[in-house]
Structure 1
């Protein structure tokens, strides 16, 4: 009976420790590649791979770059990142990470997690985030996008998004290329300046609320029309390889780079007689004209 009771106590204790990565003065680091990289950078002060580091070691770190020392193996589990409560910069690119808990990293302003296997990311508790780079993952959703009021750049390219609403007016640069996008809403992203949406499945878009837009790269979709009347600050427009039947850029006086080739049903692009566009890419059957039927 005593042996059984003792086993039960030890088992419960181990389970509790597993659920709570921060225990007493130590922080649990179950992934040996994660800990090895911490040792290599002099963060883990005992210099021993023992699946733990001092909490004080973690709390002393302001920038954590786990891309260094690639020969030390790829990280699969970032359990323990919760203890790095003072980091403003985190980079863990090209690893094997499937999920990450950033709820304790409230001071983060720059996050690079490109080239992992994330299926969802939650930035609800990261109000100071300025740059979010999570391209080349397996993401189909993102949580907390509206809570990061300082967010300027969001890179979601090479993921599995089918739809997305950018309900954050601070974002200036949005990259969502090479996804499965059929719907995007940017009505609340009032400060958007640069948008990359190439290689998706969009049939319609509306950027009328994004009056500060300067660069719109939206080639290789299924667009039949696009209204750019409100986008008077537009300088670069790439809408090649779509299904456009008409295009009017006569109100886009700042345009310096226009690429609309490979739209089979688009023969005429409307411009002003006084409008000069330094760089133009069109197909042989297309023309720029002041009158388009």
Structure 2
């Protein structure tokens, strides 16, 4: 019996050791220390998981240095509000935070975000701030909010790359959406909904939606944004000849608020060959080997891919 007690006492510290969550970014951990969240008060690459789970609000501005890694935030499962300003983050995992109601991520380098698990989200602000010009514009092109049915406020101002928003399945009593930017070019955002006609006409259930197009912003509704963008590009541009030997021309049929930005040429396997940013009316293909190529027509309204045969 004494031997058994001794063995239990020997292993007891390991059995009772508290769970920890790794925080690889020292700037983030220092912020957690300053907020009184990291209870050990030491920047050592980890916090008690219990500390994270006891947190309901989190403000992460850049006053203590620039954050580059948000690894560890997934442990804050009871957090209801997160605000982050002027941080160099490109990805963030918030899927486990099912209680999250308010998310403000401004002036970041965010390239993608998955909000499918944040079903209680009510307020979303992803942009670069109303009063900040040309500051690290986000590279997000597509935003899927089809699983966030409780959203009431969506502010996407200054998301210069944004082209599509999926708002299918939304039955919110009211929804306010802010779009636009401070750059010198305009763009048209496709909002994917269940009934494009009703949304366009402002009839139920979209009669309580309010889409605000600020400077240089515009939008349209569609049940399938991917097909709508492709159709729009097809209607505005003609590419010929096909097959081609010496050159390929891209002719703009109309000047209807659309700008051809570049053409990416890829081989049949998807390997990038070259980029064309001017002289679209005569793109030299004489040095390309015979075969099939993909011409990705990139416009400010979206992209379309054409198969071109080089003889």
TM range (shorter): 0.5 to 0.7
Q: Say if 2:99 is the partner of 1:107.
A: yes
2:118 alignment counterpart: 126
The 5-angstrom pairing of residues 1-293 of structure 1 reads 25-67=19-61, 70-136=62-128, 137-143=138-144, 145-159=145-159, 160-167=161-168, 168-170=170-172, 172-178=175-181, 180-181=187-188, 183-185=190-192, 187=196, 190=206, 192-200=208-216, 202=218, 205=220
What's the TM-score, normalizing by structure 1? 0.57
In structure 1, how many angstroms separate the alpha carbons of the residues matched to 2:85 and 2:25? Answer: 16
In 1: Cα distance, 2:121 partner to 2:221 partner: 27
Q: Distance in 2 between matches of 1:163 and 1:71?
A: 33
How many residue pairs end up in the alignment? 183
Measured in 2, the distance between the counterparts of 1:182 and 1:75 equals: 30
8 Å Cα contact 1:161/1:181 also seen in 2: no
Q: State whether residues 188 and 220 of structure 2, in contact with CA within 8 Å, keep that contact through their aligned partners in structure 1.
A: no
Deviation of residue 122 (structure 1)? Answer: 1.1
**In 2: Cα distance, 1:191 partner to 1:110 partner:** 24
Gaps of 5+ in 1: 1-22, 208-241, 244-293
Aligned mates of 1:192, 1:110 — CA distance in 2:
21
Cα distance, 1:201 vs. partner?
7.0
**Any idea what the Cα deviations from partners look like across 1:140-188, whole Å, max 9, x if unmatched?**
1123x11112110111121111233432232510112127335344536
Higher relative contact order (CA 8 A, sep 6+): 2
Q: Give CA-to-partner distance per residue, 1:228-273, whole Å, 9 cap, x none.
A: xxxxxxxxxxxxxx99xxxxxxxxxxxxxxxxxxxxxxxxxxxxxx
Aligned counterparts of 1:41 and 1:182: Cα–Cα separation in 2: 39
Contact 2:143 2:164 in 1 (8 A): no
Which residue number corresponds to residue 8 of structure 2?
none
Partners of 2:217 and 2:211 lie apart in 1 by 16
> Partner of 1:35: helix, strand, or coil?
helix
TM-score, normalised relative to structure 2: 0.54
* Cα RMSD after superposing both structures: 2.6
3-state SS in 2 of match to 1:66: strand
- Listed one character per residue, the Cα deviations across residues 99-149 of structure 1 (whole Å, up to 9, x for unaligned) are 101111110000011111111211100000000110122211123x11112
